[in-house]
Chain A
Amino acid sequence: ILNVEQSPQSLHVQEGDSTNFTCSFPSSNFYALHWYRWETAKSPEALFVMTLNGDEKKKGRISATLNTKEGYSYLYIKGSQPEDSATYLCAFQGAQKLVFGQGTRLTINP
């Protein structure tokens, strides 16, 4: 059974602060690592798909890094805003299916 772990499970951050969280995944049979943002009452929305060791992706104030050899990815949010409040999911893609972690629930306090 593939194990994808995210930490922390939940996080409260003051508006304007920067934050980061982790996704750990198997280092074998790697194909891609996905990050999604899931806001309440909406469907999950793709942030990044990373395929190469050492990949770094950026979208506005959000960025992600990937280490496939040791099996982890970090998601960073710079200068948190209230609209960043959401659950952030990572998903490990092996040969075929995607396996999700349990998510990090981020709450931005104004």
Chain B
Amino acid sequence: DTGVSQDPRHKITKRGQNVTFRCDPISEHNRLYWYRQTLGQGPEFLTYFQNEAQLEKSRLLSDRFSAERPKGSFSTLEIQRTEQGDSAMYLCASSLASLSNSPLHFGNGTRLTVT
């Protein structure tokens, strides 16, 4: 068990550019979540997958955000035409859907700065 890994750890981009983040969950975990966290706030739900199916996407997310989990393993989160308000920590977490009390296991996050 190598834990949840996220890449990159930090990303600085100019407004208007596209960015893509990757998350590799714990291998046997079938649920994968994306959250966004800004200073002083708790993690804000973005979307989650069970295996390769995207089961829910936050209504707060604009169409500029898209996530995929093509083979039910790693996931990518893409932000198109980035805006300064997208600057945040993007967290990925995974869990086992089969256990009713399965906690989330988080990665170290990707910190995005949009200049």
A side interface size, CB within 8 A: 24
B side interface size, CB within 8 A: 24
Within 8 Å of chain B (Cβ to Cβ): is A59?
A: no
Q: A102 to B101, Cβ gap below 8 A? A: no
Within 8 Å of chain B (Cβ to Cβ): is A40?
A: no
Q: Please, how many angstroms separate the alpha-carbon atoms of A42 and B108 in the complex?
A: 6
Distance of A82 from chain B, by nearest CB (Å) = 22
A32-B101, A49-B102 known; A98-B56 Cβ under 8 A: no
With both beta carbons as reference points, the residue of chain A lying nearest to B3 in the complex is identified as: A43
Q: A43 to B107, Cβ gap below 8 A? A: yes
Could you tell me the dominant secondary structure of chain A's interface residues? strand
With both beta carbons as reference points, the residue of chain B lying nearest to A98 in the complex is identified as: B104
1/0 contact string of B24-57 vs chain A (CB within 8 Å): 0000000001010000111111001000000110
1/0 contact string of B95-115 vs chain A (CB within 8 Å): 000001111111111000000
